Structures are given as C-alpha cells and as structure tokens.
C-alpha cells in the first residue's frame, strides 16, 4: 500500500473487531482524510462533463465532505440512519456518498435512470430517512420526480437537493448555509454501508456492501492495472454500481491518482478529457474497445492501461469478445451483477482473460488477503474472497 494507505491506518483505525481482516480497520473517509493531509493541493477528482469544469483538490474535497456531513447532521439525520442519493452520475454522487458516511449514515445510490416510482421503491426497500437529489446539469432530477418519490415512501422524512433549489426541499449547497454556524464533522471510521441497486420498477433489489469489501476489490483493481499516485484514472462509468465505484472513485482514492469522470459521453468532449489526462488508466464499456483501437487511441501516448467493463450475470456466463491489438496493458473488468468486479489482464494479442483462474491476493499491513478466487461448490464454480459482497442487510436481525 502507498503512503496514503499507511497514513490511513492511523486515521481510520477503529477499536479491535472480531474480524481477522485488517481491511475492517479502514474506512473510505479515512483514506479521504489521509489524502487531504498528504496531497493537500493536488487534484483529487474532476467532472469533465460539467460546464464550467467542476473539480476538487484533495483538501477541498475533504472540506466539502465535512461541510455537507455537518449539514446532514444539522438537519436531524442520526448516525445509523440511511439516505438515498439519486439523480447523479458524477462528482455530486461521490461527495454525497462520502458526506453520508462521514455523518455515520448508510448510503444508497440510486441508478440515474430511476423514475419517481423506482426512487420511492428503492427508498422503501432500504428504509431511507432522506432522499438527496441532484439539481446539477447534465443529470438534473426534476423537482416533481423528487417530490413524488418522497410522497410515495413513508419512511422518508427529509428531502434535500444539491446544485439548486427545489420548493419543499432542504438545500445542501454552501451558499444556503452561509449564515449558519455548522459543525464541520471530522473523519468517521464507522463501518457504514454503501448500497447499490439492480433491476427496474417492481423488481428493484438493494445490495449492501461493507466498506472493507469495496476496499478489497478496489485494491485488487489498483494492483492489477498498476495505478499509482503519479498516474490518472479517466472513467466513463457512472459511480453508481459496484464496478463503477471500485474502478473509479474508490480506486483513485486508495491509489492517490486523480480521477477524471466523463460519464455523459460526447465524442469531442471525451477526446478533450483524454488529452487532458493522458496517459490515463481508462475505464470504458467493453463494447467501445474496437472503436478506441480503430481511432488509434489505445497507445501509450494516451493510455497507461485500458480497463474494459463487461457485465455478466454469473461465473458461468459466456464471455464474448475478441483479441484486441494494442501497445498498452488491457484488462477485462468483469462485473458479476452487484456482487463483485474482478480485473484480469490479457496476454498481448490474446482474447479475453479467464475469470479468476488464479487467486487474487492483496497486501495490507504485511498481511496477504485473498481478494478473489474461484472454487467449486455444489457442482459449479463460484467466486469468493474479501472483494465479494454477500449483499445482505446485516443490520437487520
């Protein structure tokens, strides 16, 4: 682990737990606070789709998370409660998620395509006390959608927005609280859950992730892609799923690499973002890989590595694909629903890399931890390890 990780031991270490994994001693908030101390004025994250470009240095991101966490606490949200963040695809999601964790809350992240009924169903499913909507273009959620969702979820007692005002909602922006004396919350080593969702109306499922699981999976991606603090991550995957989180903001946070988010795809703007971040570790859907290669972008001039996201239903799924020539490392990032995201590096000029053919190990505090491995159970292959989520709501008896 790098200097930020070592510093995070002191920041995010909690009292001894029954878990044998050193990862349980860490929190995402601890890593954020460590990066703010180590790389105060370095770029942490930038949203390349916003106009003007929105971004935070490490210290600015830490300060904004602390400020928003203080607002959430001031609004009456209590540690252990849950919030649902909806309508965002970029920095607003990451800031709200980290602020919720700092306030001691469990944080659900709704899919951007959710309509009012689906937002309400997601809120009911996780028993959210608050809905946090995004009013920042280009992923603005209509006020009618947020109000209708809150009305259909009896558990919701608070509606909040960032990036703009909505009648009947509490604003989270700094300007709205400029004349209030709010406590700025310190980093929180709590083990709050991050919750993602699958499905659509009438069949939404919530998947609960321990922070230790997300950290284990992100460490494995960082190790296999060789992401360092001296490189840049450019992700086109919205940070609203397991894979989008570990290959984007969490991986960047753990490695110290600046994150450039480009989630509202437009060709010209994407090329500008790629030029600005080159050579970058680029995370894209696998179905555009050939287009990138054909455009001459899969070269060391632009890329440090290319991570191709492939969503598969299970370990038994067929893995379509074709060889891709390129002078940069190519990794297939397999998203197994919302249970795991496993990166496998291809051999030069070869087709898809097999999924977890060999065990994936990460090192934390001189302890080797099994992140992923395939094993046979009940006559079929299953994936297991510290980077695989069980998906259960462990707070409910």
Neighbour-count burial of 187, counting CB atoms closer than 10 A to its CB (0-12 exposed, 13-18 middle, 19+ buried): buried
81, 102, 131, 344 from 215: Cα distances, Å: 22, 16, 25, 17
Angle between helices 116-126 and 143-151 (to 10 degrees): 40
What gap in Å lies between CA 341 and CA 359, rounded to an integer?
A: 14
Helices and strands per DSSP (H, E), number in the chain: 11, 18
* pLDDT score for 2: 56
Q: Go through 303-329 and write b for each residue having 16 or more CB atoms within 10 A of its CB, e for each that does not.
A: bbbbbbbbebeebeeeeebeebebebb
Residue 324, both tokens: 């891709």
The tens digit of pLDDT for each residue in 134-192 reads 866 655 677 888 999 999 999 999 999 887 677 778 888 888 888 788 877 878 777 79
Judged by DSSP in three states, 268 sits in helix
* pLDDT score for 169: 83
Range of the domain at 68: 57-207
Alpha carbon 281 to chain centroid distance?
A: 16
Nearest to 169 by CA among 99, 87, 112: 87
Angle between helices 211-225 and 28-38 (to 10 degrees): 50
Neighbour-count burial of 27, counting CB atoms closer than 10 A to its CB (0-12 exposed, 13-18 middle, 19+ buried): buried
Q: Which residue has the higher pLDDT, 1 or 53?
A: 53
Length of the chain: 397
Give the predicted TM-score (pTM) of the model: 0.90
The domain boundary residue, chosen from 141, 173, 207: 207
The tens digit of pLDDT for each residue in 95-113 reads 999 999 999 999 999 999 8
The domain boundary residue, chosen from 161, 179, 207: 207
pLDDT band at 352 (very low <50, low <70, confident <90, very high): confident
Q: What percent of the chain has pLDDT over 70?
A: 86
Residue 33, both tokens: 């606070």
Least confident of 48-57, 122-131, 366-375: 48-57
The tens digit of pLDDT for each residue in 198-237 reads 987 678 999 999 999 999 999 999 999 999 999 999 999 9
What gap in Å lies between CA 348 and CA 334, rounded to an integer?
A: 19
In a domain, 15, yes or no: no
In a domain, 336, yes or no: yes
Q: Are residues 218 and 184 in the same domain?
A: no
Cis-peptide into 138, omega within 30 deg: yes
Least confident of 63-67, 71-75, 344-348: 344-348
In a domain, 51, yes or no: no
Angle between helices 91-102 and 58-74 (to 10 degrees): 60
Q: Are residues 316 and 354 in the same domain?
A: yes
The tens digit of pLDDT for each residue in 247-284 reads 999 999 999 999 999 988 777 888 888 998 889 999 99
Q: What is the tally of structural domains in the chain?
A: 2
**CATH number of residue 190's parent domain:** 3.40.50.980
The H-assigned helical ranges of the chain are: 3-12, 28-38, 58-74, 91-102, 116-126, 143-151, 211-225, 242-246, 249-255, 267-277, 289-294
* pLDDT score for 16: 30
DSSP 180-233: S----PPP------EEEEES-TT--EEEEE-HHHHHHHHHHHHHHHT--TTSEE
pLDDT at 314 over 70: no
* pLDDT score for 162: 82
pLDDT band at 13 (very low <50, low <70, confident <90, very high): very low
Q: Go through 149-169 and write b for each residue having 16 or more CB atoms within 10 A of its CB, e for each that does not.
A: bbeebebbebbbbbbbebeeb
DSSP 39-66: STTSEEEEETTSSSPEEEEHHHHHHHHH
In a domain, 83, yes or no: yes
Please compute the mean of the pLDDT values over residues 292-305 and round it to a whole number. 91
In a domain, 397, yes or no: no
Residue holding tokens 């109000």? Answer: 147
pLDDT at 303 over 90: yes
pLDDT at 359 over 90: yes
Q: Are residues 269 and 340 in the same domain?
A: yes
* pLDDT score for 15: 31
291, 298, 302, 305 from 295: Cα distances, Å: 6, 8, 11, 16
For residue 106, list its beta bridge partners: 82
The tens digit of pLDDT for each residue in 15-46 reads 333 344 678 889 999 999 999 999 999 999 99
Q: Are residues 183 and 76 in the same domain?
A: yes
Question: Rounded mean pLDDT of the chain?
Answer: 86
> Phi and psi (nearest 5°) for 290?
-65, -35
pLDDT at 7 over 70: no
pLDDT at 196 over 70: yes
**CATH number of residue 329's parent domain:** 3.40.50.12780
* pLDDT score for 36: 96
Q: Are residues 185 and 325 in the same domain?
A: no
For residue 148, list its beta bridge partners: none
Q: Are residues 144 and 241 in the same domain?
A: no
The domain boundary residue, chosen from 186, 207, 228: 207
DSSP state of 249: H
């Amino acid at each position: 682990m790098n200097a930020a990780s070592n510093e995070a031991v002191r920041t995010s270490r909690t009292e001894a737990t029954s878990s044998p994994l050193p990862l349980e001693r860490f929190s995402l908030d601890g890593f954020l606070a460590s990066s703010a101390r180590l790389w105060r004025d370095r770029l942490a994250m930038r949203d390349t789709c916003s106009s003007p470009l929105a971004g935070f240095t490490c210290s600015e991101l830490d300060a904004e998370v602390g400020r928003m966490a203080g607002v959430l606490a001031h609004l009456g949200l209590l540690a252990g409660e849950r919030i649902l963040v909806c309508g965002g695809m970029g920095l607003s999601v990451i800031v709200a998620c980290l602020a919720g964790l700092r306030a001691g809350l469990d944080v659900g992240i709704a899919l951007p395509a959710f309509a009012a009924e689906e937002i309400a169903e997601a809120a009911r499913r996780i028993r959210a006390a608050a809905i946090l909507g995004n009013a920042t273009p280009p992923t603005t959620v209509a006020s009618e959608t947020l109000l209708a969702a809150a009305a259909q979820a009896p558990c919701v007692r608070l509606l909040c927005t960032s990036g703009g005002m909505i009648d009947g909602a509490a604003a989270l922006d700094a300007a709205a609280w400029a004349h209030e004396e709010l406590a700025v919350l310190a980093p929180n080593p709590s083990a709050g859950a991050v919750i993602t969702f699958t499905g659509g109306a009438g069949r939404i499922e919530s998947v609960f992730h321990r922070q230790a699981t997300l950290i284990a999976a992100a460490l494995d991606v960082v190790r296999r892609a060789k992401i360092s603090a001296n490189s840049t991550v450019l992700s086109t995957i919205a940070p609203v799923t397991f894979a989008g989180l570990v290959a984007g903001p969490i991986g960047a946070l753990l490695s110290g690499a600046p994150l450039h988010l480009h989630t509202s795809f437009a060709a010209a703007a994407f090329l500008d973002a790629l030029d600005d971040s080159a050579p970058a570790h680029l995370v894209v859907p696998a179905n555009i890989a050939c287009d990138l290669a054909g455009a001459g972008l899969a070269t060391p001039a632009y890329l440090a590595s290319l991570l191709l996201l492939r969503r598969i239903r299970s370990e038994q799924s067929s893995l379509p694909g074709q060889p891709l020539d390129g002078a940069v490392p190519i990794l297939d990032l397999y998203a197994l629903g919302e249970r795991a995201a496993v990166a496998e590096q291809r051999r030069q000029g070869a087709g898809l890399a097999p999924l977890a053919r060999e065990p994936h190990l990460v090192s934390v505090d001189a302890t080797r931890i099994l992140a992923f491995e395939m094993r046979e159970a009940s006559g079929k292959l299953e994936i297991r390890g510290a980077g695989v989520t069980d998906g259960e709501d462990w707070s409910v008896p």
